[in-house]
Homo-oligomer: A and B are copies of this chain.
Amino acid sequence: MPSRPPVQDLARSVYLLWGHHPAPGRSGLSVPRIVAAGLELADAEGLDAVSMRRVADQLGVGAMSLYRHVPGKDDLTALMVDAVHAEAYGDDVEAATRQGDWKDAVRYVAARNWDLYQRHPWLLDVHAARPNLGPHTSRKYETELRALDGGGLSDIEMEAALTLVLNHVAASARAHRAQTRTVSDSGMTDAEWWAAITPALTQVMTDPDLTVSARVGNTVGATFNTATSPTHTYTWGLETLLSGLTPHLTP
Protein backbone atom coordinates (compact mmCIF):
# COMPACT_ATOMS: atom_id res chain seq x y z
CA MET A 1 0.00 0.00 0.00
CA PRO A 2 2.08 2.95 -1.17
CA SER A 3 1.22 6.17 0.57
CA ARG A 4 2.82 9.24 -0.93
CA PRO A 5 4.08 11.45 1.86
CA PRO A 6 3.01 15.08 1.58
CA VAL A 7 5.67 17.38 0.20
CA GLN A 8 5.20 19.43 3.31
CA ASP A 9 6.52 16.62 5.48
CA LEU A 10 9.63 16.22 3.37
CA ALA A 11 10.30 19.93 3.62
CA ARG A 12 9.74 19.83 7.35
CA SER A 13 12.34 17.10 7.73
CA VAL A 14 14.85 19.16 5.80
CA TYR A 15 14.19 22.28 7.86
CA LEU A 16 14.47 20.27 11.05
CA LEU A 17 17.85 18.90 10.03
CA TRP A 18 19.12 22.40 9.36
CA GLY A 19 18.17 23.81 12.73
CA HIS A 20 14.71 25.16 12.09
CA HIS A 21 13.01 23.74 15.14
CA PRO A 22 10.45 25.06 17.61
CA ALA A 23 11.64 27.02 20.61
CA PRO A 24 11.86 25.19 23.94
CA GLY A 25 8.50 24.88 25.64
CA ARG A 26 7.71 25.49 29.28
CA SER A 27 9.31 22.25 30.43
CA GLY A 28 12.52 23.15 28.66
CA LEU A 29 12.04 20.42 26.06
CA SER A 30 13.85 21.17 22.82
CA VAL A 31 15.16 19.38 19.75
CA PRO A 32 18.81 19.55 20.83
CA ARG A 33 17.99 18.06 24.21
CA ILE A 34 15.96 15.29 22.59
CA VAL A 35 18.78 14.50 20.20
CA ALA A 36 21.31 14.53 23.03
CA ALA A 37 19.19 12.10 25.03
CA GLY A 38 18.84 9.85 22.01
CA LEU A 39 22.59 9.88 21.43
CA GLU A 40 23.29 9.05 25.03
CA LEU A 41 20.98 6.05 24.89
CA ALA A 42 22.28 4.88 21.53
CA ASP A 43 25.92 5.12 22.54
CA ALA A 44 25.26 3.30 25.79
CA GLU A 45 22.80 0.62 24.74
CA GLY A 46 22.45 0.62 20.98
CA LEU A 47 19.83 1.85 18.57
CA ASP A 48 17.19 -0.56 19.81
CA ALA A 49 17.28 1.14 23.18
CA VAL A 50 16.31 4.43 21.57
CA SER A 51 12.55 4.21 21.84
CA MET A 52 10.41 7.28 22.10
CA ARG A 53 9.39 6.21 25.58
CA ARG A 54 12.93 5.78 26.83
CA VAL A 55 14.10 9.05 25.32
CA ALA A 56 11.18 10.75 27.04
CA ASP A 57 11.95 9.04 30.34
CA GLN A 58 15.54 10.19 30.06
CA LEU A 59 14.24 13.74 29.87
CA GLY A 60 11.63 13.35 32.59
CA VAL A 61 8.85 13.95 30.15
CA GLY A 62 5.92 12.06 28.66
CA ALA A 63 6.49 10.05 25.53
CA MET A 64 4.06 12.00 23.42
CA SER A 65 5.61 15.32 24.30
CA LEU A 66 8.48 14.51 21.97
CA TYR A 67 6.14 14.71 19.02
CA ARG A 68 5.75 18.44 19.54
CA HIS A 69 9.36 18.82 18.50
CA VAL A 70 10.11 15.88 16.24
CA PRO A 71 7.72 14.40 13.66
CA GLY A 72 8.61 10.82 14.45
CA LYS A 73 11.36 8.37 15.11
CA ASP A 74 12.87 8.42 11.64
CA ASP A 75 13.49 12.13 11.87
CA LEU A 76 14.99 11.76 15.30
CA THR A 77 17.36 9.15 13.94
CA ALA A 78 18.31 11.40 11.04
CA LEU A 79 19.09 14.18 13.49
CA MET A 80 21.23 11.84 15.55
CA VAL A 81 23.17 10.71 12.50
CA ASP A 82 23.80 14.24 11.37
CA ALA A 83 24.91 15.30 14.82
CA VAL A 84 27.44 12.50 14.99
CA HIS A 85 28.77 13.18 11.50
CA ALA A 86 30.04 16.49 12.82
CA GLU A 87 32.72 14.57 14.70
CA ALA A 88 34.34 13.06 11.61
CA TYR A 89 36.40 15.99 10.34
CA GLY A 90 35.53 18.86 12.63
CA ASP A 91 33.90 20.79 9.80
CA ASP A 92 37.24 21.09 8.02
CA VAL A 93 36.52 20.22 4.40
CA GLU A 94 40.22 20.02 3.58
CA ALA A 95 41.00 17.61 6.39
CA ALA A 96 41.52 14.66 4.07
CA THR A 97 43.30 16.38 1.21
CA ARG A 98 45.94 17.67 3.61
CA GLN A 99 47.06 14.15 4.48
CA GLY A 100 49.47 13.71 1.58
CA ASP A 101 48.80 11.96 -1.70
CA TRP A 102 45.40 10.61 -2.60
CA LYS A 103 46.09 7.23 -1.03
CA ASP A 104 46.82 8.82 2.30
CA ALA A 105 43.72 10.93 1.93
CA VAL A 106 41.57 7.87 1.33
CA ARG A 107 43.21 6.01 4.18
CA TYR A 108 42.43 8.96 6.39
CA VAL A 109 38.81 9.00 5.25
CA ALA A 110 38.49 5.29 5.94
CA ALA A 111 40.09 5.65 9.36
CA ARG A 112 37.80 8.50 10.36
CA ASN A 113 34.76 6.45 9.40
CA TRP A 114 36.12 3.42 11.20
CA ASP A 115 36.59 5.55 14.32
CA LEU A 116 33.07 6.85 13.99
CA TYR A 117 31.72 3.30 13.95
CA GLN A 118 33.78 2.39 16.99
CA ARG A 119 32.51 5.39 18.91
CA HIS A 120 28.91 5.02 17.73
CA PRO A 121 28.30 1.42 16.69
CA TRP A 122 24.58 2.10 16.32
CA LEU A 123 25.39 3.98 13.11
CA LEU A 124 25.68 0.54 11.55
CA ASP A 125 22.04 -0.13 12.33
CA VAL A 126 20.65 2.97 10.68
CA HIS A 127 19.08 2.04 7.37
CA ALA A 128 17.57 5.20 5.96
CA ALA A 129 15.49 5.00 2.82
CA ARG A 130 16.80 8.27 1.44
CA PRO A 131 20.19 9.92 1.86
CA ASN A 132 20.63 12.13 4.88
CA LEU A 133 20.85 15.74 3.77
CA GLY A 134 21.78 17.34 7.05
CA PRO A 135 24.47 20.03 7.33
CA HIS A 136 27.16 17.90 8.92
CA THR A 137 26.51 14.92 6.69
CA SER A 138 26.81 17.22 3.70
CA ARG A 139 30.16 18.59 4.85
CA LYS A 140 31.39 15.10 5.58
CA TYR A 141 30.48 14.06 2.05
CA GLU A 142 32.23 17.12 0.63
CA THR A 143 35.36 16.38 2.63
CA GLU A 144 35.44 12.81 1.43
CA LEU A 145 34.83 13.62 -2.20
CA ARG A 146 37.67 16.14 -2.13
CA ALA A 147 40.01 13.33 -1.16
CA LEU A 148 39.41 11.91 -4.63
CA ASP A 149 39.03 15.13 -6.56
CA GLY A 150 41.59 16.21 -9.15
CA GLY A 151 43.14 12.76 -9.52
CA GLY A 152 41.78 12.00 -12.95
CA LEU A 153 38.61 10.28 -11.87
CA SER A 154 35.38 11.36 -13.51
CA ASP A 155 32.64 12.65 -11.25
CA ILE A 156 30.78 9.38 -11.69
CA GLU A 157 33.86 7.40 -10.76
CA MET A 158 34.53 9.57 -7.73
CA GLU A 159 31.10 8.80 -6.40
CA ALA A 160 31.53 5.09 -7.07
CA ALA A 161 35.01 4.97 -5.56
CA LEU A 162 33.92 6.72 -2.39
CA THR A 163 30.93 4.43 -2.05
CA LEU A 164 33.21 1.45 -2.53
CA VAL A 165 35.54 2.56 0.24
CA LEU A 166 32.84 3.57 2.69
CA ASN A 167 30.92 0.35 2.13
CA HIS A 168 34.06 -1.61 2.86
CA VAL A 169 34.62 0.28 6.09
CA ALA A 170 31.02 -0.18 7.17
CA ALA A 171 31.00 -3.89 6.41
CA SER A 172 34.29 -4.43 8.24
CA ALA A 173 33.10 -2.42 11.21
CA ARG A 174 29.89 -4.44 11.27
CA ALA A 175 31.82 -7.70 11.30
CA HIS A 176 34.11 -6.35 13.99
CA ARG A 177 31.19 -5.36 16.14
CA ALA A 178 29.36 -8.63 15.57
CA GLN A 179 32.41 -10.43 16.88
CA THR A 180 33.12 -8.32 19.94
CA ARG A 181 29.47 -7.85 20.78
CA THR A 182 28.35 -11.42 20.70
CA VAL A 183 31.30 -12.24 22.87
CA SER A 184 30.28 -9.76 25.54
CA ASP A 185 26.57 -10.51 25.14
CA SER A 186 26.87 -14.22 25.53
CA GLY A 187 29.86 -14.28 27.84
CA MET A 188 31.34 -16.77 25.40
CA THR A 189 34.42 -16.25 23.31
CA ASP A 190 34.57 -17.33 19.72
CA ALA A 191 36.73 -20.26 20.73
CA GLU A 192 34.32 -21.33 23.44
CA TRP A 193 31.42 -21.05 21.04
CA TRP A 194 33.23 -23.13 18.49
CA ALA A 195 34.08 -25.73 21.11
CA ALA A 196 30.46 -25.85 22.17
CA ILE A 197 29.10 -26.66 18.74
CA THR A 198 31.94 -28.80 17.45
CA PRO A 199 30.57 -32.08 18.81
CA ALA A 200 27.22 -31.62 17.14
CA LEU A 201 28.83 -30.26 14.00
CA THR A 202 31.27 -33.08 13.43
CA GLN A 203 28.51 -35.59 14.02
CA VAL A 204 26.30 -34.03 11.41
CA MET A 205 28.60 -32.35 8.90
CA THR A 206 29.89 -35.29 6.96
CA ASP A 207 29.94 -33.61 3.53
CA PRO A 208 33.19 -34.81 1.86
CA ASP A 209 33.34 -31.86 -0.56
CA LEU A 210 34.14 -29.22 2.04
CA THR A 211 37.87 -29.54 1.58
CA VAL A 212 38.91 -25.97 0.89
CA SER A 213 36.68 -24.39 3.50
CA ALA A 214 37.90 -26.88 6.08
CA ARG A 215 41.54 -26.00 5.29
CA VAL A 216 40.88 -22.26 5.28
CA GLY A 217 38.80 -22.46 8.43
CA ASN A 218 41.61 -24.25 10.22
CA THR A 219 44.23 -21.78 9.08
CA VAL A 220 42.16 -18.77 10.02
CA GLY A 221 41.25 -20.28 13.36
CA ALA A 222 44.87 -21.14 14.12
CA THR A 223 46.05 -17.66 13.12
CA PHE A 224 43.49 -15.43 14.78
CA ASN A 225 41.83 -17.77 17.29
CA THR A 226 38.56 -16.73 15.71
CA ALA A 227 36.55 -17.68 12.64
CA THR A 228 37.43 -14.40 10.96
CA SER A 229 39.51 -11.32 11.71
CA PRO A 230 37.56 -8.19 10.79
CA THR A 231 40.44 -5.82 11.50
CA HIS A 232 42.73 -7.78 9.22
CA THR A 233 40.06 -7.89 6.52
CA TYR A 234 39.64 -4.15 6.95
CA THR A 235 43.27 -3.18 6.42
CA TRP A 236 44.06 -5.80 3.82
CA GLY A 237 40.87 -4.99 1.93
CA LEU A 238 41.53 -1.28 2.04
CA GLU A 239 45.00 -1.68 0.54
CA THR A 240 43.58 -3.99 -2.10
CA LEU A 241 41.00 -1.38 -2.93
CA LEU A 242 43.59 1.36 -3.14
CA SER A 243 45.64 -0.76 -5.46
CA GLY A 244 42.57 -1.34 -7.61
CA LEU A 245 41.91 2.38 -7.77
CA THR A 246 45.49 3.22 -8.71
CA PRO A 247 45.17 2.70 -12.48
CA HIS A 248 42.39 5.26 -12.52
CA LEU A 249 44.27 7.88 -10.58
CA THR A 250 47.24 10.03 -11.50
CA PRO A 251 49.85 10.87 -8.80
Q: Mark A98-122, 1 if CB is under 8 A from B, else 0.
A: 0000000000000000000000000
Contacting residues of chain A (1-55) with chain B, CB-CB under 8 angstroms: 2-5, 7, 10-11, 14-15, 18, 20
Q: Mark A112-139, 1 if CB is under 8 A from B, else 0.
A: 0000000000000001011101010011
* Contact A2 B186, CB 8 Å, known A93-B209, A219-B155: yes
Contacting residues of chain A (48-83) with chain B, CB-CB under 8 angstroms: none
What distance in Å separates the Cβ of A143 from its nearest Cβ neighbour in chain B?
9
Per the CB 8 Å criterion, the residue count for chain A at the interface is 84
Can you list 8 A-B pairs with a CB-CB distance of less than 8 A?
A5-B188, A10-B196, A10-B197, A130-B182, A146-B212, A156-B223, A167-B172, A243-B244
Residues of chain A whose beta carbon lies under 8 Å from any beta carbon of chain B: 2-5, 7, 10-11, 14-15, 18, 20, 93, 127, 129-131, 133, 135, 138-139, 141-142, 145-146, 149, 154-161, 163-164, 167-168, 170-172, 174-175, 178, 181-182, 184-188, 193, 196-197, 199-201, 204-205, 207, 209-213, 215-216, 219-220, 223, 227-229, 232-233, 236-237, 240-245, 247-248
